[in-house]
Amino acid sequence: MRRILLLPALVGLLALPGASNAVRLAPGDGTLSVRDGLGMVYLSARGAVIGRVDKAKKVVVTDLSELDGSEPLLKGCDERDYDKEEKTTLCKGKKITFRVTRGKYELRVVGEGIDLSAVGKGKVELRGDGELDWDNDGSLDDGEFRLDDGRWQSLPDGPKAKKLQLGD
């Protein structure tokens, strides 16, 4: 059901004036998709990201290019803190949505039910925490990710994050 609701949100983002330019693939851009993630997703990139998290231990967004004319958007925060000097927003709560439509940013999402789509260039770190969530069949489930047109694969379990490159 969550995926069905995320699709109209992505379509709506593309329909916003100026936003379509922000999510259009440029030469060398890559894409990242995460669905129903449990664990941590970290991006340090130039581009755009939109997503949501059902239960967030934390969502941290740092705007690394404040002169680009866009600010990160976070909604649904039960707790919110902004560090003006670091240009960082910390958000905790349930059913949080976030969006960065252009510019350079760092985003760290730690929680359960992470769904996001990103386009651009940069670094990605992924860490699943499947020991906390069990499917009905008794298998571990920490969600899935895919880069570009690659195959869907499980978020990596364990203490080490999987480091990937977004775009070239």
pLDDT per residue, tens digit, the chain (168 aa), is 555 555 445 444 444 434 444 455 688 899 999 999 999 999 999 999 999 999 999 999 998 886 666 788 999 999 999 998 888 999 999 999 999 987 899 999 999 999 999 999 999 999 998 654 444 444 557 899 999 999 999 998 876 778 889 988
Q: Which of 45, 58, 70 is nearest to 109 (CA)?
A: 58
Tell me how many domains the chain contains: 1
The kind and range of the H/E element at 99 are strand 88-100
Say whether 71 sits in a helix, a strand or coil: coil
Domain that holds residue 86: 2-166
Q: How far is CA 26 from the centre of its chain?
A: 19
Spatial separation of the C-alpha atoms in residues 87 and 56, rounded to whole Å: 20
pTM: 0.79
